[in-house]
């Protein structure tokens, strides 16, 4: 919120001539293009211009209306219907398209009971009622009930404890308050970290059941008017969602291999990614009586939500009965894969994807992304019919089963891993889209590239370029003058590392493919995430009502696809990536230092009796435990590799600059062929086939999610995760292998730089 208002205030104050005063803000649609020669750049810009002009907001709106017209979760009639409709569209547009089916474990609710037995009786409704005026909210017969998929079955009765967000830090606080959740049922609010972490950490602390509710402070009346007066979650709104554990994504029964009919499947009892305890999501109207019935210590200020009660922690006297039983069925999922064959380098694949399944109608998640992606493909088909053919092969993927656990994309990548590693140049993902800024995520070798694309797309409401808006917002968001100066100096957008959380995961973390994620957001008026109210009526009243940011997403992602597909050589630049990785290594060093200082100080204060002295004797809170101060770790191998990486990246960037200084002449065909082959292989070098030490499915040694962050990235997870667990020796033992991976990457970049240098015409 703060960030948005600062950004807007800043934009209002800007003098109008800012664009002319900044050399890096060349008018869109002009200037050289990374990966293009002087002779190929003009025709490319002409194709892109045509493409952008033809993207129609009205078509995207119609796609959304059709795809979100009925509930379309995995296994539903309309999920299959949508896949077939998408398939037919791709075929009409001239793509070589088919459906690939997988059979996956997808639990649906059979029994859901939540009642309070003490001190009074209350039965939770567990229902989201239809809203007058919102036509699809009453499609009760087809709606999936509110639940968390992959919750363990269970029938438990116990006293209740409020655990805030249910993070590990929250349990540390409970320990100090002398409150145990052993044998208890916990109630956590949604927010701060991925939902699946809440039952996981609860079970680790001995809880026997977990309830997750949506507090109005996070996404309800504290933020804005409730639906349907406003766009925010109403009192009975519930966030569905998967709580599948993060050992590996995809079908729990077929880790590492595609869930094809003949795949070997684990027995259900051996599937590691199902929760240990039953878990159920509820609305705040169902949560309020439970929270109100808690006594015990008053919750710390940071733990309090926006309900009209004094938040107590418990345990009890509220006693609740929770029962969750699922139908553990194998269900079909339908990925639509659509290919536009390349003319000159058909064996190099440029890939694009967005899921089509939703929890209910899913107008925002995922249809706002899917509808825009389909419009890209339509225009590409039109250009193709009029004579344009991409140099490389373009592959569009409409994934099924993303919501339960990235099922469609993971099973597809696992099935096609050998071909993918041979052919794939890049994977561009989107998911939900809204109004506002574009902040790209992904692997930073594509950072310069996507910034170039963003320069050439106009923000529909401010008429700045998408790049300018994001760039200026990053200045506004900087917290220190140092950060502000750095943001000002940058000529590319910061590309945030991705962990998990959408269909890029298998491409980046398992297959080692350069990845981008693009979406607009931060200016929607509310959210109905994973509820029956995320539908066409809500989207057309409270999100991108005119579909102009939907059009901008099509234009951005589509231009990126065209530019990647047609480039003479793959438009990567490794300098931003080397810089980002250097930062990740610095963060590891800083983390160690911070922990040394923190634990030394804490142990000293324990000795001095600080905690005993400052506590209110009438509100006892125990001291934190003494900690072993971490030993120094040897990061030298990592730092040496980072230096090598920087050198190689600089060498490649200089070769690019020399090429441009020479007027971007066309390289010879053999030079281009070996350069492209080398560029394609660099991102594969980030993999270690053995994977992360405790999560072998995750092969990428730089880009990975954390075991306790879920969606959030934990770069260099092999080292970092052990540090988070205070296993300093194990962390240090991982340093050499990550250093070796980075050294391999540096060598790969060097090879590409040598190709480029030898392809340069000799100076006279
Ligand atoms: Zn989604």
pLDDT 10s digits, 496-550: 999 888 999 999 999 999 999 999 999 988 999 999 999 999 999 999 999 999 9
Mean pLDDT of 89-107: 98
Residue 1 has pLDDT above 70, yes or no: no
Predicted structure pTM score: 0.94
Q: Given the structure tokens 């099935």, which residue do they identify?
A: 415
Q: What is the mean pLDDT of residues 649-654?
A: 97
- Give residue 430 CA to ligand 1 midpoint distance, Å: 8
Alpha helices in 424-567 (DSSP H): 447-455, 466-477, 481-489, 505, 536-542, 548-566
Please give the pLDDT value at position 14. Answer: 34
Residue 259 and residue 412: Cα distance in Å, rounded?
A: 8
Distance CA 45, CA 563 (A): 9
Q: pLDDT tens-digit profile of 129-150?
A: 999 999 999 999 999 999 999 9
Distance 235 CA to ligand 1 centre (A): 23
382 Cα: distance to centroid of ligand 1 (angstroms)? 28
- 197: nearest Cα among 314, 108, 276, 271: 276
| 426 CA from centroid of ligand 1 (Å) | 20
3 state SS of 310: coil
Return the structure tokens found at 130. 């239809």
Give distance in angstroms: CA of 492 to centre of ligand 1: 27
Q: How far is the CA of 295 from the centre of ligand 1 (A)?
A: 38
Residue 448 phi/psi, 5-degree rounding, is -65, -40
CA 432 / ligand 1 centre spacing (Å): 6
Distance 367 CA to ligand 1 centre (A): 8
Quick one: average pLDDT of 383-395? 98
CA of 238 to the centre of ligand 1 (A): 16
What Å distances lie between residue 175 and 159, 180, 618, 664, CA to CA? 17, 7, 18, 64
Q: Which residue has the tokens 């107590």?
A: 312
Above pLDDT 90, what percent of the chain? 92
d(CA 660, CA 216): 54
pLDDT at residue 742 greater than cutoff 60: yes
Main-chain phi, psi angles of 753, to 5 degrees = -65, -40
CA of 404 to the centre of ligand 1 (A): 10
Distance 275 CA to ligand 1 centre (A): 21
Q: How far is the CA of 402 from the centre of ligand 1 (A)?
A: 7
Percent of the chain with pLDDT over 70: 96
**Ligand 1: centre distance to CA 64 (Å):** 14
CA of 431 to the centre of ligand 1 (A): 5
Task: Tell how far the Cα of 283 is from the centroid of ligand 1, in angstroms.
Answer: 21
Q: What is the mean pLDDT of residues 107-119?
A: 98
Structure tokens at 233: 């979650």
CA 61 to ligand 1 center in whole angstroms: 18
591: CA distance to ligand 1 center in Å? 32
- Ligand 1 centre to CA of 82 (Å) is 16
Least confident range from 45-49, 251-255, 259-263, 704-708: namely 704-708
Which candidate, 555, 547, 535, places its Cα nearest to that of 373? 555
Q: What is the residue whose two structure tokens read 């102009």?
A: 548
CA distances from 336 to 99, 353, 494, 512, 572 (A): 5, 10, 32, 22, 28
Q: How far apart are CA 650 and CA 648, in angstroms?
A: 5
Tell me the CA–centroid distance for residue 709 and ligand 1, in Å.
18
Residue 608 Cα to ligand 1 middle (Å): 51
pLDDT value at position 7? 33
- CA–centroid distance, residue 117 to ligand 1 (Å): 37
Measured in Å, residue 723 CA sits from the centre of ligand 1 at 31
Report pLDDT digits (tens) over 410-467.
Answer: 999 999 999 999 999 999 999 999 999 998 999 999 999 999 999 999 999 999 999 9
Structure tokens at 298: 């008053």
Helix 728-759 to helix 636-661 angle, to the nearest 10 degrees? 20
- Whose CA is closest to 180, among 151, 199, 159? 159
Distance 365 CA to ligand 1 centre (A): 5
The Å distance, Cα 406 to ligand 1 centre, comes to 9
What is d(CA 593, CA 616) in angstroms, rounded to the nearest whole number?
32
Reported confidence tier of residue 762, pLDDT bands at 50, 70, 90: low
Alpha-carbon distance of 364 to 703, in angstroms, equals: 27
pLDDT tens readout for residues 662-711: 999 999 999 999 999 999 999 999 999 999 999 999 999 999 998 887 66
Ligand 1: distance of its center to the CA of 368 in Å? 9
Those residues whose C-beta lies under 8 Å from the C-beta of residue 91, and which sit 6 or more positions away, are 97
189-240: pLDDT as tens digits: 999 989 999 999 999 999 999 999 999 999 999 999 999 999 999 999 999 9
Ligand 1 centre distance from Cα of residue 352 (Å):
15
Distance (Å) from CA 37 to ligand 1 centroid = 38
Judge if the upstream peptide bond of residue 315 is cis by omega within 30 degrees of 0: yes
Residues in a beta bridge with 428: 352, 516
> 561 CA to middle of ligand 1, Å?
21
Closest CA to 317 of 492, 162, 104: 162
Give the integer Cα–Cα distance in Å for 557 and 353: 10
Q: How far, in Å, is the centroid of ligand 1 from the Cα of 516?
A: 16
Instruction: Find the 466 Cα to ligand 1 centroid distance in Å.
Output: 23
Neighbours of ion ligand 1 (CB under 5 A): 365-366, 431
- Cα of 436 vs centre of ligand 1, distance in Å, is 18
| Cα–ligand 1 centroid distance for 620 (angstroms) | 44
> What is the torsional sign of CA 475, 505, 747, 447?
negative
Q: Whose CA is closest to 22, among 664, 465, 658, 495? A: 465
C-alpha 306 – ligand 1 centre gap (Å): 27
Cα(556) to centroid(ligand 1), Å: 19
Report the separation in Å between the CA atom of 462 and the middle of ligand 1, taken as the mean of its atom positions: 27
Q: Is the dihedral of CA 581, 583, 589, 592 positive or negative?
A: negative
- How much distance in Å is there from the Cα of 354 to the middle of ligand 1? 8
* 399 band by pLDDT with thresholds 50, 70 and 90: very high
**Run of H or E including 415:** helix 407-415
∠ CA 186-187-189 to the nearest 5 degrees? 140
pLDDT for 86 = 98
pLDDT tens digits, 712-732: 789 999 999 999 999 999 999
Mean pLDDT of the residues in the chain: 94
Q: How far is the CA of 403 from the centre of ligand 1 (A)?
A: 6
Q: What is the Å distance from ligand 1's center to 303 Cα?
A: 28
* Distance (Å, whole) CA 190 – CA 148: 12
**How much distance in Å is there from the Cα of 399 to the middle of ligand 1?**
10
The Å distance, Cα 530 to ligand 1 centre, comes to: 9
Cα(374) to centroid(ligand 1), Å = 16
Residue 428 CA, ligand 1 centroid: distance in Å: 14
- CA of 419 from ligand 1 middle (Å) equals 26
Rounded to the nearest whole angstrom, what is the distance from the C-alpha of residue 357 to the centroid of ligand 1? 8
pLDDT of 261-306, one tens digit each?
Answer: 999 999 999 999 999 999 999 999 999 999 999 999 999 999 999 9
Reported as a single tens digit per residue, the pLDDT across 346-366 is 999 999 999 999 999 999 999
491 C-alpha to ligand 1 centroid (Å): 31
pLDDT given for residue 759 in this prediction:
83
Residues in CB range of 689: below 8 A, 6 or more apart? 699
Ligand 1 centroid to 434 CA: how many Å? 13
- State residue 645 phi and psi, 5-degree precision: -65, -45
pLDDT, residue 28, reads: 60
What confidence score (pLDDT) does residue 710 get?
A: 66
Confidence check: pLDDT of 618 > 90: no
Cα(502) to centroid(ligand 1), Å: 7
d(CA 114, CA 510): 39
**Residue 660 and residue 647: Cα distance in Å, rounded?**
20
Indicate the SS3 state at residue 465: strand
| 334 band by pLDDT with thresholds 50, 70 and 90 | very high
475: CA distance to ligand 1 center in Å? 29
75 alpha carbon – ligand 1 mean position (Å): 17
What is the Å distance from ligand 1's center to 568 Cα? Answer: 34
Question: What's the gap in Å between 205 CA and the centre of ligand 1?
Answer: 30
Helix (H, G, I), strand (E, B) or coil at 509: helix
242 Cα–ligand 1 center, Å: 11
């Amino acid at each position: 919120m703060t960030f948005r208002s600062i950004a807007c205030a800043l934009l209002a104050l800007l003098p109008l001539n800012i664009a002319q005063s900044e050399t890096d803000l060349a008018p869109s649609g002009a200037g050289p293009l990374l990966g293009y020669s002087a002779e190929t750049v003009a025709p490319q810009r002409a194709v892109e211009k045509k493409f952008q002009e033809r993207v129609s907001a009205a078509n995207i709106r119609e796609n959304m209306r059709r795809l979100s017209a009925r509930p379309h979760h995995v296994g539903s009639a309309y999920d299959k219907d949508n896949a077939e409709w998408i398939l037919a569209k791709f075929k009409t547009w001239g793509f070589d398209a088919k459906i690939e089916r997988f059979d996956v474990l997808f639990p649906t609710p059979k029994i859901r009971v939540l009642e309070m037995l003490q001190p009074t009786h209350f039965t939770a409704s567990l229902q989201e009622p239809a809203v007058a005026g919102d036509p699809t909210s009453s499609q009760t017969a087809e709606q999936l009930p509110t639940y968390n998929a992959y919750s363990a079955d269970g029938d438990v009765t116990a006293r209740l404890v409020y655990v805030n967000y249910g993070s590990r830090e929250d349990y540390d606080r409970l320990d100090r308050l002398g409150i145990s959740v052993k044998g208890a049922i916990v109630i956590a609010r949604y927010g701060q970290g991925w939902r699946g972490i809440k039952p996981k950490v609860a079970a680790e602390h001995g809880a026997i059941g977990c309830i997750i509710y949506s507090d109005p402070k996070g996404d309800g009346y504290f933020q804005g008017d409730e639906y349907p007066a406003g766009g925010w979650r109403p009192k009975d709104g519930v966030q569905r969602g998967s709580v599948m554990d993060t050992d590996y994504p995809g079908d729990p029964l077929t880790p590492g291999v595609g869930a094809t009919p003949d795949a070997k499947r684990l027995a259900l009892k051996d599937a590691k990614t199902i929760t240990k305890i039953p878990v159920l999501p509820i609305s705040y109207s169902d949560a309020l009586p439970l929270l109100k019935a808690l006594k015990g210590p008053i919750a710390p200020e940071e733990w309090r939500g926006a309900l009209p009660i004094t938040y107590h922690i418990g345990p009890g006297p509220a006693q609740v009965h929770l029962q969750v039983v699922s139908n553990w069925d194998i269900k079909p999922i339908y990925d639509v894969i659509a290919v536009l064959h390349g003319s000159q380098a058909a064996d190099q694949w440029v890939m694009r994807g967005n899921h089509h399944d939703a929890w209910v109608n899913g107008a925002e998640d995922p249809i706002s992304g899917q509808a825009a992606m389909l419009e890209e493909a339509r225009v590409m088909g039109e250009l193709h019919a009029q004579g344009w053919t991409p140099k490389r092969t373009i592959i569009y993927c409409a994934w099924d089963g993303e919501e339960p656990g990235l099922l469609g994309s993971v099973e597809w990548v696992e099935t096609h891993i050998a071909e993918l590693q041979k052919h794939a140049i890049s994977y561009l993902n989107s998911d939900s889209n809204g109004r506002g800024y574009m902040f790209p995520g992904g692997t930073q070798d594509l950072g310069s590239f996507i910034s170039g694309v963003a320069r050439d797309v106009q923000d529909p409401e401010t008429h700045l370029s998408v790049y300018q808006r994001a760039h200026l917002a990053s200045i506004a968001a900087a917290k220190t003058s140092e950060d502000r100066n750095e943001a000002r100096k940058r000529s590319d957008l910061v590309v945030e590392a991705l962990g998990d959380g959408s269909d890029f995961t298998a491409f980046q973390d398992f297959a080692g493919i350069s990845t981008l994620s693009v979406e607009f957001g931060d200016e929607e008026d509310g959210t109905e995430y994973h509820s029956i109210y995320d539908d066409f009526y809500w989207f057309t009243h409270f999100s991108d009502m005119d579909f102009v940011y939907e059009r901008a997403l099509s234009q951005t992602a589509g231009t990126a696809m065209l530019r990647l597909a047609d480039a003479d050589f793959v438009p990567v630049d490794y300098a931003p990536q080397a810089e980002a990785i250097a930062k990740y290594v610095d963060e590891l060093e800083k983390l160690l230092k911070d922990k040394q200082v923190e634990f030394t100080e804490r142990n000293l204060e324990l000795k001095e009796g600080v905690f005993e002295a400052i506590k209110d004797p009438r509100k006892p809170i125990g001291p934190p435990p003494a900690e072993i101060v971490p030993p120094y770790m040897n990061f030298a191998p990592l730092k040496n590799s980072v230096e090598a990486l920087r050198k190689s990246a600089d060498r490649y960037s200089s070769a690019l600059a020399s090429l441009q200084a020479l007027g971007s002449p066309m390289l010879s065909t053999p030079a281009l062929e070996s350069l492209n082959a080398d560029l394609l292989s660099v991102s594969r070098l980030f993999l270690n086939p053995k994977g992360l030490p405790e999560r072998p499915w995750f092969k990428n040694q730089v880009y990975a999610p954390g075991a306790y962050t879920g969606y959030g990235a934990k770069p260099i997870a092999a080292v970092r995760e052990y540090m988070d667990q205070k296993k300093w020796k194990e962390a240090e033992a991982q340093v050499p292998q990550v250093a070796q991976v980075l050294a391999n990457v540096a060598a790969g970049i060097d090879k590409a730089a040598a190709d480029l240098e030898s392809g340069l015409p000799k100076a006279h």
